[in-house]
Structure 1
Amino acid sequence: MTEKKEVTVIRSRDRLKWWSHNVLIPLFFTILSFKLRLHEIEANNRVVWDEAHFGKFGSYYIKHEFYHDVHPPLGKMLIGLSEWLAGFDGNFEFESGSTYPDEVNYKIMRQFNAMFGALCVPATYFTTIWMNFNMLTTLLVTTMVTLEHSYIVLSKFILLDSMLLFFTITTFACLCKLNSLRKEQMTKKWSLWLLLTGINIGCVCSVKWVGLFITVIVGLYTVIDLYRHWCDASLSRVSYYKHWLIRIMYLIIIPALIYLFCFKIHFQLLYKSGTGDSSTNTLFQVNLEGTKIQMGPRTLLFGSHFTMRSHGLSPNLLHSHPQLYPGGSHQRQVTGYAHFDSNNVWEFQFVRGQKYNPEKLYLISNGAEVRLIHNNTRSNLHSHKVPSHVSRGNWEVSGYGNDADGDNNDNWIIEIVDQMKSANPNYPEEDTNIVHPISTFFRLKHKVLGCYLTSTGMSYPGWGFSQAEIVCKNSWSQRDKSTWWNIEEHWNDKLTIDEEYVPPKSKFWTDFILINFAMASSNNALIPDPDKYDSIASDAWEWPILHRGLRLCAWVKDTHRYYLLGSPFNTWISTFSILVFLMIMLKIAYKWRRQTIVLTEDDFWSLLIQAILPFMAWLTHYLPFAIMGRVTYVHHYVPALYFAILICGFVVDYLFASSKLYIKYPVYITLFAGCIYIYILFAPICQGLQGLGAKYLKLQWLRTWNIVI
Structure 2
Amino acid sequence: MTTTGFLPKSSELRLRDRNKNFDENFVNKELAEESEILPEGEKEKGQYREKDISSIIEYLGAGIITILAFYVRFRRIDASNIVVWDEAHFGKFGAYYIKNEFYHDVHPPLGKMLIALSEYLTGFDGSFEFDSGAPFPEGVNFKFMRQFNASFGALCAPLMVLSARNIGFSFLGSMLLGLMVALELSYIALSKFILLDSILLFFTATTFYCITKIHTLRKKQFTKKWSLWMLLLGISIGCVCSVKWVGLFITLVAGIYTATDLFVSYHDPRMSKIQYYKHWVIRVINLIIIPFMIYLFCFKIHFTILHKSGTGDASTNTLFQVNLEGNKIEMGPRDVAFGSTVSIRSHGLSPNLLHSHVQLYPFGSGQHQITGYGHSDNNNHWVINFSRGSGEDVDANGLLRGDSITLHHDSEIRLVHKNTKANLHSHDIPAHVSKNCYEVSGYGDEMVGDTKDDWIVEIVEQLHSSNSSFPKEDSTVVHPISTSFRLRHKELGCYLASTGLAYPAWGFKQAEIVCKHSWTSRDKSTWWNIEDHWNENREKAEGYVPPKSKFWADFVLINFAMASSNNALVPDQDKYDSLATKAWEWPTLHTGLRMCGWSLQNVRYYLLGSPFQTWLSTAALALAVLYFAQLTLRWKRQSLRVTSDDLCKLGIQGVLPFLAWLLHYLPFVFMGRVTYVHHYVPALYFAIIVFGFLLERCIPNRYHVRDFLYVFLFGGCIYIYILLSPLAQGMDGPAKNYKNLNWLSSWTVTF
The interval holding the TM-score normalised by the smaller chain is over 0.9
Distance apart, 1:8 and its partner CA: 5.9
* Match of residue 479 from structure 1: 522
CA distance in 2, matches of 1:562, 1:343: 44
Task: Give CA deviations for 1:12-31 in whole Å, capped at 9, x if unaligned.
Answer: 3322111111x211111111
CA distance in 1, matches of 2:424, 2:48: 86
Task: Give CA deviations for 1:434-474 in whole Å, capped at 9, x if unaligned.
Answer: 00000000000000110000000000011000100000001
CA distance in 2, matches of 1:353, 1:471: 25
Question: 598-607 vs 275-284, which deviates more?
Answer: 598-607
Verify the 8 A CA contact 2:361 2:369 in the aligned structure 1. Answer: yes
Task: Work out which of the residue numbers 603, 627, 642 in structure 2 matches 1:584.
Answer: 627
Task: Give CA deviations for 1:520-579 in whole Å, capped at 9, x if unaligned.
Answer: 000000000001110110000100000010111111223321110000010000000001
Task: Give CA deviations for 1:290-326 in whole Å, capped at 9, x if unaligned.
Answer: 0111100000111110000000100000000010000
* Match of residue 160 from structure 1: 196
Task: Give CA deviations for 1:98-124 in whole Å, capped at 9, x if unaligned.
Answer: 000001110110010011001111111
Map residues 97-176 of structure 1 onto 2, 5 A cutoff: 97-176=133-212
* Match of residue 328 from structure 2: 292
* Match of residue 474 from structure 2: 431
* Match of residue 321 from structure 1: 357
Distance apart, 1:674 and its partner CA: 1.4
* Match of residue 644 from structure 1: 687
* Match of residue 23 from structure 2: none
Pair 1:696 & 2:742 matched:
no
Map residues 416-427 of structure 1 onto 2, 5 A cutoff: 416-427=459-470
* Match of residue 396 from structure 1: 439
Distance apart, 1:692 and its partner CA: 0.9
Distance apart, 1:195 and its partner CA: 0.5
Question: 361-370 vs 349-358, which deviates more?
Answer: 349-358
SS of structure 2 residue aligned to 1:561 = coil
Task: Give CA deviations for 1:40-95 in whole Å, capped at 9, x if unaligned.
Answer: 11110000000000000000000000000000000000000000001100000000
Verify the 8 A CA contact 2:172 2:707 in the aligned structure 1. Answer: no
CA distance in 2, matches of 1:8, 1:446: 86
Distance apart, 1:268 and its partner CA: 0.2
Verify the 8 A CA contact 2:156 2:202 in the aligned structure 1. Answer: yes
Task: Work out which of the residue numbers 70, 90, 95 in structure 1 matches 2:131.
Answer: 95
* Match of residue 17 from structure 1: 54
Give the partner amino acid of 1:387.
P
Pair 1:489 & 2:532 matched:
yes
Verify the 8 A CA contact 2:339 2:404 in the aligned structure 1. Answer: no
Distance apart, 1:358 and its partner CA: 2.9
Task: Give CA deviations for 1:654-706 in whole Å, capped at 9, x if unaligned.
Answer: 111x4312532332222222111101100111111121111111111101111
Pair 1:672 & 2:672 matched:
no
SS of structure 2 residue aligned to 1:544 = helix
Gaps of 5+ in 1: none
CA distance in 2, matches of 1:5, 1:601: 35
Pair 1:74 & 2:110 matched:
yes
Pair 1:258 & 2:306 matched:
no
* Match of residue 44 from structure 1: 80
Give the partner amino acid of 2:653.
Q
Give the partner amino acid of 1:156.
K
CA distance in 2, matches of 1:239, 1:392: 52
CA distance in 2, matches of 1:181, 1:9: 25
* Match of residue 456 from structure 2: 413
| Residues 667/347 of structure 1: CA separation in 2 closer, same or farther (3 Å cut) | same
Task: Work out which of the residue numbers 85, 91, 95 in structure 2 matches 1:59.
Answer: 95
Give the partner amino acid of 1:450.
G
SS of structure 2 residue aligned to 1:470 = strand
Task: Work out which of the residue numbers 579, 595, 616 in structure 2 matches 1:552.
Answer: 595
* Match of residue 14 from structure 2: none
CA distance in 2, matches of 1:191, 1:112: 31
SS of structure 2 residue aligned to 1:68 = coil
CA distance in 2, matches of 1:424, 1:345: 29
| Residues 241/10 of structure 1: CA separation in 2 closer, same or farther (3 Å cut) | closer
Distance apart, 1:587 and its partner CA: 1.2
Task: Give CA deviations for 1:593-648 in whole Å, capped at 9, x if unaligned.
Answer: 22222221111111111111111111111111110000000000000000110100
SS of structure 2 residue aligned to 1:540 = coil
* Match of residue 549 from structure 2: 506
Distance apart, 1:7 and its partner CA: 6.3
* Match of residue 239 from structure 1: 275
Distance apart, 1:352 and its partner CA: 1.7
Bigger radius of gyration among the two: 2
SS of structure 2 residue aligned to 1:592 = helix
SS of structure 2 residue aligned to 1:79 = helix
Q: Return the TM-score normalized by structure 1.
A: 0.98
* Match of residue 270 from structure 1: 306
Question: 666-675 vs 689-698, which deviates more?
Answer: 666-675
Verify the 8 A CA contact 2:73 2:192 in the aligned structure 1. Answer: yes
CA distance in 2, matches of 1:139, 1:662: 17
SS of structure 1 residue aligned to 2:67 = helix
* Match of residue 397 from structure 2: none
* Match of residue 34 from structure 2: none
| Residues 5/493 of structure 1: CA separation in 2 closer, same or farther (3 Å cut) | closer
Task: Work out which of the residue numbers 571, 591, 605 in structure 1 matches 2:648.
Answer: 605
CA distance in 2, matches of 1:354, 1:467: 34
Give the partner amino acid of 1:531.
D
Verify the 8 A CA contact 2:426 2:453 in the aligned structure 1. Answer: yes
CA distance in 2, matches of 1:663, 1:108: 45
Task: Work out which of the residue numbers 573, 578, 585 in structure 2 matches 1:530.
Answer: 573
Task: Work out which of the residue numbers 368, 371, 374 in structure 2 matches 1:332.
Answer: 368
Between the aligned residues of both structures, percent identity stands at: 59
Task: Give CA deviations for 1:142-188 in whole Å, capped at 9, x if unaligned.
Answer: 11111100001110000000000000011011001111111111111
SS of structure 2 residue aligned to 1:123 = helix
* Match of residue 456 from structure 1: 499
Verify the 8 A CA contact 2:62 2:175 in the aligned structure 1. Answer: no
Q: Return the TM-score normalized by structure 2.
A: 0.93
Give the partner amino acid of 1:402.
D
* Match of residue 561 from structure 1: 604
Aligned length: 705
CA distance in 2, matches of 1:4, 1:491: 91
Give the partner amino acid of 2:156.
C
| Residues 8/512 of structure 1: CA separation in 2 closer, same or farther (3 Å cut) | closer
SS of structure 2 residue aligned to 1:333 = strand
* Match of residue 407 from structure 2: 364
CA distance in 2, matches of 1:8, 1:598: 37
SS of structure 2 residue aligned to 1:371 = strand
Task: Work out which of the residue numbers 280, 289, 302 in structure 1 matches 2:338.
Answer: 302
CA distance in 1, matches of 2:494, 2:270: 59
SS of structure 2 residue aligned to 1:529 = coil
Pair 1:227 & 2:263 matched:
yes
CA distance in 2, matches of 1:418, 1:235: 53
